[in-house]
């Protein structure tokens, strides 16, 4: 039960990110068209996938509760490194492979990061 309590705020954050992303993508699609809306969606999904990876690490850490402080710290660092690698890789795919515009990718990514920021501020 304690594990569910730890994940509940992250689940709420994910729901909020998806709702805000849907609203932003629909607005951009209506105002600017499909191409920019697709780029905004992909940029937002970069941030959402980061939150999903954070949730996975949180669940994994809860399963290993009682581990040594060194193991806990190494898990935290691993989470940070994996999130950075995921973000860089997804931006590389968005720019190089899918050839999205920088404005679209960054708009989606930054919007979801703002949701993440206010989600954490709400918890504090």
pLDDT digits (tens, 9 = 90+) for 13-69: 899 999 999 999 999 999 999 999 999 999 999 999 999 998 888 888 777 766 677
Look up the pTM and report it: 0.84
CA 30 – CA 8 distance, rounded (Å): 33
| Per-residue pLDDT tens digits for 93-108 | 999 999 999 999 999 9
* CB neighbour list of residue 40: distance below 8 Å, 6 or more residues apart: 24, 25, 28, 104, 105, 107, 108, 111
- Cβ burial, residue 37 (10 Å; 0-12/13-18/19+): buried
CA 45 – CA 83 distance, rounded (Å): 13
Q: How many distinct structural domains can be found in the chain? A: 1
Domain span holding position 38: 2-123
């Amino acid at each position: 039960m304690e594990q569910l309590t730890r994940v509940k705020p992250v689940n709420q954050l994910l729901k909020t990110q998806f709702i805000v992303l849907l609203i932003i993508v629909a607005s951009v699609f209506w105002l600017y068209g499909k191409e920019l809306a697709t780029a905004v969606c992909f940029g937002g999904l970069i941030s959402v996938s980061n939150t999903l990876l954070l949730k996975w690490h949180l669940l994994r850490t809860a399963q290993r509760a009682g581990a040594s402080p060194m193991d806990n710290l190494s898990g935290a660092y691993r989470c940070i490194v994996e999130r950075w690698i995921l973000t860089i890789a997804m931006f590389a795919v968005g720019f190089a492979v899918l050839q999205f515009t920088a404005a679209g990718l960054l708009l989606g990514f930054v919007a979801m990061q703002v949701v993440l920021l206010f989600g954490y501020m709400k918890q504090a």
